[in-house]
Copies of this chain bind each other. A is one copy, B any other.
Amino acid sequence: MDVTIYEVARLAGVSIATVSRTLRGTGPVAPKTREKVLKAVEELRFTPSRLGVSLAEGRHAANGIVFPNLAGPYYTEVLLGYEEVASELGRSVVILSTKGRSRVHDLVKDLAGRVDGLMVFGHTVPDDLVAELVRMRMPLVFVSREPLAGADTLRSENTASARALAEHLLGHGYQRFAFLGAPIATGDDVDERWQGVRSVLGTAIEAVPTEHYTVECGYQAAKTLLRAPVRPEAIVCSDDEVALGALLAAEELGLAVPDELAVTGWDDIMAARHARPALTTIRQPTRELGARAARALDELITGARDTPKHLVLPTELVLRASCGHHPQEEPK
Q: Cβ of A2: which chain B residues have Cβ within 8 Å of it?
A: 136
Q: Cβ of A55: which chain B residues have Cβ within 8 Å of it?
A: 51-52, 55
Q: Cβ of A47: which chain B residues have Cβ within 8 Å of it?
A: 109, 113
Docked-complex contact B87 and A136, CB < 8 angstroms: no
CB distance from A151 to the nearest CB of B (A): 16
CA–CA, A136 and B114, complex, Å: 24
B60, B73, B77: the one contacting A51 at CB < 8 Å is: B60
**A54 at the binding interface (Cβ < 8 Å):** yes
Q: Cβ of A248: which chain B residues have Cβ within 8 Å of it?
A: 274
Docked-complex contact B97 and A95, CB < 8 angstroms: no
**A125 at the binding interface (Cβ < 8 Å):** no
CB distance from A46 to the nearest CB of B (A): 11
> Interface size on A (CB < 8 Å)?
51
Q: Cβ of A100: which chain B residues have Cβ within 8 Å of it?
A: 84
Question: In the assembly, how many copies of this chain are there?
Answer: 2
Docked-complex contact B110 and A92, CB < 8 angstroms: yes
Q: Cβ of A215: which chain B residues have Cβ within 8 Å of it?
A: 270, 274
A96-B107 contact, Cβ under 8 Å, with A114-B62, A271-B270, A274-B275: no
**A21 at the binding interface (Cβ < 8 Å):** no
Q: Cβ of A17: which chain B residues have Cβ within 8 Å of it?
A: none
**A323 at the binding interface (Cβ < 8 Å):** no
Binary CB contact string for chain A from 193 to 236 against chain B (1 if under 8 A, 0 otherwise): 00000000000000000000001000000000000000000000
29 contacts between A and B (CB under 8 A): A1-B113, A1-B136, A47-B109, A47-B113, A48-B113, A49-B113, A50-B113, A51-B51, A51-B55, A52-B55, A55-B55, A62-B114, A69-B80, A79-B95, A83-B95, A83-B96, A83-B97, A87-B101, A92-B94, A92-B110, A92-B111, A93-B94, A93-B95, A93-B96, A94-B95, A244-B274, A247-B274, A271-B274, A274-B274
CA–CA, A270 and B216, complex, Å: 11
| CB-nearest residue of chain B to A53 | B113
**A276 at the binding interface (Cβ < 8 Å):** yes
B96, B270, B276: the one contacting A92 at CB < 8 Å is: B96
**A29 at the binding interface (Cβ < 8 Å):** no
Q: Cβ of A30: which chain B residues have Cβ within 8 Å of it?
A: none
Q: Which A residues from 15 to 57 make CB contacts under 8 A with B? A: 45, 47-52, 54-55
Docked-complex contact B87 and A80, CB < 8 angstroms: no
CB distance from A16 to the nearest CB of B (A): 16
Docked-complex contact B97 and A94, CB < 8 angstroms: no
Given A1-B136, A92-B114, A274-B274, 9 new contacts (CB under 8 A): A45-B132, A47-B113, A49-B113, A70-B70, A71-B76, A76-B76, A83-B97, A87-B97, A92-B96
Docked-complex contact A80 and B93, CB < 8 angstroms: no
CA–CA, A113 and B1, complex, Å: 7
**A318 at the binding interface (Cβ < 8 Å):** no
Q: Cβ of A170: which chain B residues have Cβ within 8 Å of it?
A: none
Docked-complex contact A50 and B114, CB < 8 angstroms: yes
Binary CB contact string for chain A from 78 to 116 against chain B (1 if under 8 A, 0 otherwise): 011001100100001111110011000001011111100
